[in-house]
Structures are given as C-alpha cells and as structure tokens.
Structure 1
C-alpha cells in the first residue's frame, strides 16, 4: 500500500509506452518499483570532512551505495536529515542516488577545467567541486584551507536567474572556493570561453519521467517528450564549442524515453564525428543503453550500448540515462586571458585587514582579492577571463564594504572551521544554544567562552555555520534571516 505522501504513480499513457518497450517480466518489475517509496540519498562533503570521520559522527544510520562513490549513502527517510545542523553546515548534500552517478562517471581530476552547463539546483555541481579536489581524507581542515592552492576550476551555469541564484547558494553552503557561477545561454559561454573544458556535464532539461515516484503533478505526453528531444538536440549541438580535444562530455537525463536518450545521442554523433561514446566502469545496477529502441546504424548502435541506464527496479534510485563521450585528439585548452581583477582601494584594504586581523587565523593571498560593487571576493588560483558571460559569483564571497567597516559574508563562514577563526564558539549539534542561534536569537555573554568583542565564527562541532558579533555583553546574531528556523 502506498504511503499517503507518495505520488500516485506514472500516467497510464506513459506506462503503455514502457510496456511496449520492456519485456513482460522486466515491465512487471518496473511497475512494482512504484509501490515502494524512493530512497533518501546522502553524499558526504569531502571538502569539509572525510567519509570515515563523517561516518563516526553521523546522527543517523548510513548504508553505502557502492564502490562507484565511497561518499554516497542512503539514510532512513524518517530521520529528517535536511533539518540537522550538519546539513546547515554543508557536511552533506541530500540527492537522489541515481543523480550522484553523473559526476562519478565524469570523474573530474584535480587541476582540470570543468563545466556544468545546466547546474541548478546544484547537486551535481557540488559533487563535481568535491571530486575536483581529489578523494578527500588526510588531516582535518576547512574547505577554504583545503582548496586554497588548488588549480582546478568549476564553471557552474544555469540559464534561469532564480535557479542560478539557488545554485550559488548551494555551492556556498558546500564551501566551494574555486567556482564560477554564471547565468547564461550555452552559446554565449562558448563564445566567451571556447573549447577549453576538460570535462563538461549537460544534465539536460527533460520530460522528467524518472521522477514520477518522487514528484506530484509531472505533466507528460508524447508531445512533451518530442519537444524536450528537440531542445536537447539543440543544446547538445553546441558541445563541440566547449569541450577541448581529448576532453569528455557527459549527457544525462532523468527520463526513460529513447527519443530523449539514445535518439538524441545518435543524432549528436551523426553531426559530431569527433565524439564517440566511452565505455564507463560497470557496477551493479548499471544497465546498458538500448540501441534497439531507435533507428540507427550498426556502428552507432554499438556505441549506444555503452550508455548507462538506471532503473528504479534495478538500482536504489530513480530513472536516469547517462552517455559518456570523449572527443578525439589530445590538446589541453585554456581560456584566453586572465580575469580582470580589481584590487582593493587603500581604505578597502585597511577595512579588510582590520577584519582579518580580528577574526581570522589564516591568511588569504592579497593578489587574489577582487572588489566588485563594494563586495570582496577571493578569486580562484586559476581565474580566466569570461568575456561577456553573465556572472553571479566568481570565487568565494568574503564580505561587503560598508562606509566604515567590513561585514563578513555567510559564504565565508561556511568555508571555515573553528581553527580558522581567531574567535569562535563551537557547540554540539544538540546544544540548545545552537538551536537558539539557528532561530536567530542573540546569546548572552554568560553562555559563551571569554573573548574580546568583535566578529565570532559560530560552528557546530567545529564546522562553520555563520557569524555573530560580540558587543554589549551579548553575541549579536548575524545568521541570515531567510535561513532562520522559527
């Protein structure tokens, strides 16, 4: 029996289509999957904590998803992991297990230039940012100190303004430093940067058939499928203008229809002979593509079988299709020119230095500090020019200059741990003072360790959550109003 909160299931026309495509036994197993609730996936943020260390402090049971991503787990759906302070501190991201496979297959390496072309709300982008820094582990360190000297760069883009802002917020909570967030059309990005990316992810807008078990009210028809396929072909056609020779391109959808999956890839390969499907690693539940569902030649059909299909009756996640392609050649790319950094004025430099001396115990390189619209950013070590692309964020937002002071950004707090701050208060996750802080309350000095007045990092078990400012015998709460819990 379905739970009251579980979506009603796929529409009848869609089921009829799948029944025509799948063998009888497999179709029965596919339909039966909709009588089971979806899994809650959790991916550990290895920019902030190792998988082993998180496992030792996790407040709920963790079930590993597999060797394809050691940081990926499922958790019981009644544990409300999205309400735990560790989530507010960005120690993990809640994501459908199937959606985690995309970044794992694209497998960016440290030092590479990576593009997530349709990145909102940010699940795959946060995953790429973590993988760009390697497997994690080692001595405990904050996201900022761990990635300060890294040379890899992620460009995360979404064409819709509201979704792009949400993307920037999720990357900030993740503590991602070497990230550029843009809101632009793919062709404008290509014109600005060119075919320079080592890895490109296109999580294509699709009919969403794979999400029927998770979401109510998904409108579906064959006309919608056909419209999505046309749009996907148009977006994918621009990929050669972004992927360097020898680079890799991953096309992903959360849909089952071959028109949006094998059909789109077959059309792309016909028009882009420099690309071919790579054979990705195979793990339990990684089914192959179905070239027999589309009209194609023998050579292309053999390639389409290298794609990965994830089914809700074979894998602990929702429906996904993934095609990993490689461009022939081997020519490293690099955008033309460096980002035009605007250094601080003498007054701005003085205000920043006063804050950094008072509040931080780590030093940031002055040559990477950039001022825009009274805001101070830490540029990535690798900071290429982006031409006329519409920028939302370039690097890490450190804070804002006011007439006589510097106000630190919430983004900065989320990239730090208690050891990075000259003054910090750190409470356990279940401490009532932490609950009071997250609700927006000021805290009396009597409940705090002794320290001078000024900016103080508030942390949960050492991981940065936000800022407070000591004054007048109280810690004034600077936790952002939209995030406060009533």
Structure 2
C-alpha cells in the first residue's frame, strides 16, 4: 500500500517503538463484523439460528466477526433487521455511550446509521432518538437503516448541526458525535481513503470538528453525556479537538471509558492535558486489537450547568379515520391515539418527547404507520419492521429454507393455493418469526407489498 510519506512520518513520531508493528498490520487481512439487533432478538437466540460461522468481538457484547465469504448481506435475516454489518472498532462508540431507557438521544453525524441503529436498540422503544446527517443523500440511507432495524421512536434530520444546536440547546440526555475525519484509521480497510486524505487532511477536518463538538456540548442537558469519536490517528483531530472543547466549554469534563485489554490511553503532551485528564480518552490501534483505528472520548456536562426549558409538543386532537382505526384493532403494538398525526395522507406516530417541529429539514418525524388512500389504509414497510410477529393477528410465517422467502424479497406474488390457513386482507409476512413486510392475501395468493426500493437485487 502506497502510504504518503508525511503520513508515515507523523505515525512514526506518534507510535515510536510500535511503528513497525503498525506497518506490519497492513499485511493482515481486514476484519468483518456484524452486530446483533437486540431490539428484535437476543444474542443467545440469534446464535441458535445463525447460518454463519461467528467469533465474538471480545469488547462488544453483541458483536461478532464473520468470514467474508459468508456474505451476510445476502440473507433474509439481514432483510429482517436481525443484524447490522459494521467494522468491529466502529461498534465501540455506541457501545460505550451509556444509553438508558427513556433517554432523549442525538446522533449528530449519523449516516449510514451503524451507530444510530445500536442507540435505537439500546433505547428499547422508549425515549427518543434524533439522528442526523447534513447530506440529504446520505440521510436517505440512514433513514432506511433505522427503519429496517425497527426503531419506532425516532426523528431523522438532514440539517447543519449548528442550526440543530440553536433549536435544541440543553435538550439531550446523550449525544454521539462520530465526527467527519481524515480516515487514517481506515486506510487498511479502504485504500481509496488515502487519496481523500491527500486532498483533505487533518487540518481541513479539525476546523469542522471544533465547531460540531461545541454544538454537541451545547445540546446536552446538565448531567448529560457526550461521546466524541473519529476513525483517525491525528492528534489534531483527536486529543487537540477535546482540548479545544474543554477550553471553550469549562462545564464539560472527561469521564472514564470502561477499560479493555488493548485500549490505549489518550496522549498527554503537557500539564494542561494532565489537568484535563486527557488520558481518559481511548485509542484503538490495529496492531494492538482486532479492528481498525479509532479514537473515543466520553464527556459529561456538570450538573450545575444552566437548564433550558423546551415546550412539549401538543397532543393530536384530530379525528382518526375509521379505516385506520379498524386496521389498528388488529395491532397490539403500543399506539397512542394522541401521538398520531396525519400529514398529506401519511399517518405518523410521533414520540411524545419530540418538541414542536418546524424550520428544520425533517426526513421522518416518528414512525410512519402508513397512508390513507381513497377511503382505505395501507400499512407501511416501516411499521412492519417495528412490529414483533406477536403484535399483529394475521401472519404468514415461513422458514428461511422456503424458496418463497427470497421470492417475497424480490417482490414476486406468492402462491399458497394448497394452503388454507391464512386470512384474507393485510398479512404480516415473516421469516422464522421475524417480520419482513406486508402482503395482501386472497384466494390462495399473496399480493406482494414489500417496499420496491428495498428489494433483493
């Protein structure tokens, strides 16, 4: 691999006697990981049905290494949202941020959604996850991934973090910033990042990081916690960004990250770093752990910082159509009528934690339940993914070995002519007990309603 000389010089200065070991890590194969979606299935239950040869990632309770030839993205369980494919070290930030039931959580630079999916799973259908990416195209991929994962209590934005900070000052219990960075820690995984680094290196990204980390701190409630991470080794983007934050926001302080063998402490360069306890940051190096390069810092806002008042969203008072109510009578998923809003015929369940919207580029506010169409209600793909099989009363559940599962994912009409166990109307189509989407059953055939943009290619 043709690494730039100025990068190698910087790494030699950073690593000193470990430098040769770091270079040797480029001769090793990159590692592949998947993270089990504990919102849908326990780790224990997934391992019972897993078709892959998995090895635990020691510091991630629900993370596993897999072999590249297994191709888990080409399996029905992937379409059911049972796991997310993610580089092992990149699982660490969302794992470390201590999300609790009922928290209001913000993922600032979230696309394509690896960290948001884990934050949403940790919330376990409680509280609120607001997830954002400034790029509209990337935010669309983010929306798909959080919906595949079945996260109902969400709001997906595509907005400048500064604008969000102005609106949500002192609002969040937890904030995660996986900052845009020069990507030095991912050179082994993707050597195209080297050309990007030569075009825009640490100096370019550090300016962006310094702005967004201050916005993140401003959005925290007193006592709230923020996780800052990058996938780069540059001190300018890592420890120096944290030093800038602590200078500019003295109400913030570093707190320890649970230790694991191979985690390296943040680099101390002077007395100010010692006073700020920069050693509480964590560095992950590919020659010390089975993962790519990463940097993490966990911070807390002082409990005596000023509080901010945010007006609660007013509950819905609109009369719900009978067709919608009739459909919801078949659902035991917790749907509160005062949280249902209809906009341009689309029906949403909005988290009661979400304040009044307006003035922001919103991709999705709440769970899209479906759409009203000419005096009928059509349930959405997002609702199918948010449901457990037991939460709807018309089910078609096939084993993964049944060829009709892949046919369903390809959008084909399915034949059930010799089977008469199913009820007419909207059926929740499942594989091994886990929902994939909707179909409309009549006279031995299932008309496929799987979302066209999600189909098996």
Partner-residue secondary structure (3-state), 2:146: helix
Q: Which residue is 2:41 aligned to? A: 49
Q: Which residue is 1:391 aligned to? A: 362
Q: TM-score, normalised by structure 2?
A: 0.94
Cα 1:447–1:28 change in 2 (3 A) is farther
Cα 1:332–1:289 change in 2 (3 A) is same
Cα 1:361–1:268 change in 2 (3 A) is closer
- 1:34 is aligned, of 2, 26, 30, to 26
How many corresponding residue pairs?
Answer: 455
RMSD over aligned CA atoms reads 2.1
Deviation at 1:343, TM superposition (A): 4.7
Which stretches in structure 2 are left out of the alignment for 5+ residues? none
Q: Which residue is 2:446 aligned to? A: 475
Q: Which residue is 2:376 aligned to? A: 405
Find out whether 1:157 has 2:129 as its counterpart: no
* Native 8 Å contact 2:254 2:277 kept in 1: yes
Paired with 1:290 and 1:444, the residues of 2 have a C-alpha distance of: 63
Paired with 1:105 and 1:71, the residues of 2 have a C-alpha distance of: 13
Cα 1:18–1:436 change in 2 (3 A) is same
Paired with 2:391 and 2:334, the residues of 1 have a C-alpha distance of: 9
Q: Which residue is 1:142 aligned to? A: none
Q: Structure 1 runs of 4+ off > 6 angstroms?
A: none
Which stretches in structure 1 are left out of the alignment for 5+ residues? 1-7, 134-146
Partner-residue secondary structure (3-state), 1:176: coil
Cα 1:128–1:361 change in 2 (3 A) is closer
* Native 8 Å contact 1:417 1:459 kept in 2: no
* Native 8 Å contact 2:350 2:366 kept in 1: yes
Q: Which residue is 1:70 aligned to? A: 61
Deviation at 1:13, TM superposition (A): 3.4
Alignment of structure 1 residues 10-409 onto 2, 5 Å = 10-24=3-17, 26-66=18-58, 68-133=59-124, 147=125, 150=126, 152-218=127-193, 219-221=196-198, 224-292=201-269, 296-300=270-274, 303-330=277-304, 336-345=310-319, 348-357=320-329, 359-362=330-333, 364-409=335-380
Partner-residue secondary structure (3-state), 1:22: helix
Cα 1:38–1:343 change in 2 (3 A) is farther
Paired with 1:361 and 1:276, the residues of 2 have a C-alpha distance of: 44
Deviation at 1:424, TM superposition (A): 1.1
Paired with 1:99 and 1:265, the residues of 2 have a C-alpha distance of: 19
Partner-residue secondary structure (3-state), 1:118: coil
Paired with 1:309 and 1:409, the residues of 2 have a C-alpha distance of: 42
Paired with 2:392 and 2:69, the residues of 1 have a C-alpha distance of: 35
Deviation at 1:131, TM superposition (A): 1.7
* Native 8 Å contact 1:351 1:405 kept in 2: yes
